[in-house]
Amino acid sequence: MSQSIVPSFSTAIHRPRDGYPQPVHSPDINRSLNDSLSAMQHSHSVRPSGGRWAAAVLWACLPLFTCGLATPVTIGFAAYWLRNVWHFVAACVYLVGIGSFMISAVSYAEFADIPEPLAVMVTLGLLLSWCGGGVHSAFLVPHMVRARLRATPPPPHRPMEVHRRTTSPGQHHRPRPGQPEWVGHYRVVRELGRGGQGAVYLATAPNGTRVAVKVLHDLVDEMARKRFAREVDAARRVATFSTARLLDVSISGQHPYIVSEYVDGPSLEQLVKKHGPRDEDGLTRLALATAGALAAIHKAGIVHRDFKPSNVLIGHDGPRVIDFGIAKALDQVTMTTGKMVGTPPYMSPEQLSGETVGPPSDVFSWASTIIFAATGRPAFGEDTVPAVFNRLLTVQPDLSPLPPALRAIVGACLNKRPDERPSASDVMLAIVH
């Protein structure tokens, strides 16, 4: 029953395993849910051609062919192409060396007339630009060849599906047909998941860090792109305590994308299904960390809107909350399509009734998630969607499996009235006292 009506970004930030939520379609709840799955526009993989390699090698030889005079231009172009500030600094250093040579050549008729300190500077600058620039350019050749994404028109619509990993960590990875090799400046390693909002890839950043990249396809209107950028920018300001940071976003071009920190670990949902409910100490630490994450998210002016076990990852340094801000951003873009954002067993009463969704909604979902961690079962059952919704609106779940220290605060968070629930900060204080 742990199912998601709109695909979650959680598949982006951890390795795919069994237990991912699948879409639910219920005509008893909303006919338009049948339209909530759409196609993903994806880019075809591009292998570097011999011509591109030849062009890159020729580019790298320019400093040698020009006695270093072209070095500032070649390295400056590389800095722009690779979006690397250090290459830009190097280009400036080369420019100073070449500039000193040119000024001296114009100012003095004979080299012997140049003052000795300036002559040394001119000689070193010319050698640096000539030899150093040649070596620097040669080093950048493979990076320049691959730093490009070529996109092709999208394929026909297809239903949502999640692709599980098919290679072991030690095996050589081959891109799937239609999978891009690059998204912006991020080299794609493999596809992690695919859904109605886009496709998710494990990728490598220019500095070698592993990241999760979600490529979207719904942002066709310019106003929608700007609104989406504002929402994601707010999410990037969230304090990093127990959250997975949003690192980058691009809304230009045919394929807008979001880049997030990659958390290598199972979700809470996967962990509980595999190893059973958490013990008292583990549950208390989980409750405190996730409540703190929600407090930071709410302080940034963001409502998560889809807090659930699969959006809590258990990394080597503890729980991390993911997907914050993305659900709202996507909902802002597609709010006229009739899609419902949320996962039925972890939605709040106000989400079901169409009322304004604020921080109290996340607090309700947090309490439902803690009950799942303590019992291994959703707080409001996992049978049919209408039955779950009915219990969610009318029934108070059993709190006896929770540690005594958590029962009162979890019960308060499950109040059907949003204005009577504690804030995430209040939840933190209640747990530690």
| Residues recognised as catalytic | 306
Side by side, the strands of the sheet bearing 198-204 are: 182-183, 186-195, 198-204, 210-216, 257-261, 246-250
Q: Are strands 312-315 and 186-195 parallel, antiparallel or unpaired?
A: unpaired
Please say whether the beta carbons of 324 and 243 come within 8 A: yes
N-terminal to C-terminal alpha carbon distance within the chain:
35
Q: 52's torsion region: left (phi>0), alpha (psi -120 to 50) or beta?
A: alpha
Which tokens is 110 given?
A: 């004979």
Structure-token match 């598949």, residue found: 11
How far apart are the C-alpha atoms of 395 and 164, rounded to whole Å?
37
Please say whether the beta carbons of 44 and 110 come within 8 A: no
All residues at 6 or more sequence positions from 376 whose CB lies less than 8 Å from its CB, including other chains: 272, 273, 276, 277
**How many CB atoms lie under 10 A from the CB of residue 317?**
9
| DSSP structure string for 126-174 | HHIIIIIHHHHHHHHHHHHHH--------------B-PPP-S-TTSPP-
Structure-token match 């070649």, residue found: 74
The b-or-e profile of 387-415 (16+ CB within 10 A means b, else e) is ebbebbeeeebebeebeeebeebbebbbb
Which candidate, 321, 285, 281, places its Cα nearest to that of 302? Answer: 321
- Greatest pairwise CA separation for the chain in angstroms: 95
Please say whether the beta carbons of 260 and 247 come within 8 A: yes
How far apart are the C-alpha atoms of 11 and 287, rounded to whole Å?
22
